[in-house]
């Protein structure tokens, strides 16, 4: 049976984080998994590893401390945010594989519009080649003296939390946004990292179309693999 999806529409980020925490704390062994889809009003969210120095000048946009992994990112209108609430022990895979599956769902979603997404080692999320986002060539690794993000733009961010084997927080895919606020931070802790959306690379689509495809891809990639062996995950 597919993981159920719930559309929250435009919702407050702090309220949504609190709701995810409450859902996760109240989960029982047989509580069904869910995927929450939403869009947030402008907000910077800071992960547990976040450094204040990466918030350059937030202006009138609030900064929300959260308990997800990672550094600072921006959420705003025109961005599809997906929060998978998954019991990893029941699903039968570990955290590292879960992150891989999230990224694979994002890559597959972008491919629906002919966009080739890429991973960058040590930098969770998905990137595109700015010179040709539709090229199929694999990335060539930079030399030690080169910027690993040279020629790349980040189109999707990822940050998760695992509590009692259960996930919350998730991924954000940029569709058609005001990208200016990303210049007020070092996105995900990387100074000068360019952020893009589908609109700026030439893809004309709607928030709802992307949300529907991403939900379907997450349902596919996050489906349980069968009877699970016990996992030992840090809270």
Query: Which long-range contacts link 90-97 to residues 24+ away (Cβ below 8 Å)?
Result: 90/29, 90/33, 90/224, 90/228, 91/33, 91/222, 91/223, 91/224, 91/225, 91/228, 92/224, 92/225, 92/226, 92/227, 92/228, 92/229, 93/225, 93/228, 94/231, 94/233, 95/160, 95/162, 95/233
Q: Quick one: pLDDT at residue 188?
A: 84
Closest by Cα among 214, 167, 201, 188 to 75: 188
Average pLDDT estimate for 133-156: 83
pLDDT tens-digit readout, 77-100: 999 999 999 999 999 999 999 999
* CA 235 vs CA 70, 85, 232: distances in Å: 16, 15, 9
pLDDT tens-digit readout, 175-226: 999 999 999 999 988 888 999 999 999 999 999 999 999 999 999 999 998 5
Q: Quick one: pLDDT at residue 143?
A: 58
Report the CATH number of the 4-113+155-189+204-221 domain: 3.30.930.10
State the pTM of this model: 0.93
Q: Given pLDDT bands bounded at 50, 70 and 90, which one contains residue 145?
A: low
Average pLDDT, the chain: 92
Q: Which residues contact residue 15 at a Cβ distance below 8 angstroms, ignoring those fewer than 6 apart?
A: none
Q: Given pLDDT bands bounded at 50, 70 and 90, which one contains residue 1?
A: low
Q: At which residue do the structure tokens 């769902």 appear?
A: 105
User: Minimum mean pLDDT among 139-143, 167-171, 179-183: which range?
Assistant: 139-143
Tell me if residue 188 is catalytic: yes
Closest by Cα among 81, 158, 160, 168 to 126: 158
Q: Are 218 and 109 in contact (CB under 8 A)?
A: no
pLDDT tens-digit readout, 108-140: 999 999 999 999 988 999 999 999 999 998 887
Q: Quick one: pLDDT at residue 231?
A: 42
Q: Which of 13, 38, 166, 188 is catalytic?
A: 188
pLDDT tens-digit readout, 39-70: 999 999 999 988 999 999 999 999 999 999 98
């Amino acid at each position: 049976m597919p993981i159920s999806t719930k559309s929250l529409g435009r919702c407050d980020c702090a309220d949504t984080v609190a709701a995810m925490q409450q859902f996760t704390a109240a989960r029982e062994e047989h509580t069904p998994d869910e995927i929450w889809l939403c869009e947030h009003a402008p907000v910077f969210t800071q992960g547990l590893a976040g450094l204040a120095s990466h918030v350059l000048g937030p202006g009138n946009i609030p900064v929300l401390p959260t308990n997800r992994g990672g550094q600072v990112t921006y959420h705003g209108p025109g961005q599809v945010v997906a929060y998978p609430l998954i019991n990893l022990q029941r699903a039968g895979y570990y955290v590292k594989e879960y992150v891989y599956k999230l990224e694979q769902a994002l890559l597959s979603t972008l491919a629906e519009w002919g966009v080739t997404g890429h991973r960058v080692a040590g930098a969770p999320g998905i990137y595109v080649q700015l010179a040709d986002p539709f090229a199929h060539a694999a990335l060539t690794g930079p030399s030690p003296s080169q910027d690993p993000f040279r020629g790349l733009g980040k189109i999707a961010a990822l940050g998760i939390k695992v509590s009692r084997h259960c996930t919350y927080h998730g991924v954000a895919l940029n569709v058609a946004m005001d990208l200016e606020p990303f210049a007020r931070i070092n996105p995900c802790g990387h100074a000068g990292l360019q952020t893009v959306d589908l609109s700026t690379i030439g893809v004309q689509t709607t928030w709802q179309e992307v949300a529907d495809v991403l939900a379907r891809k997450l349902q596919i990639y996050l489906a349980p693999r069968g009877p699970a062996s016990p996992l030992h995950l840090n809270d």
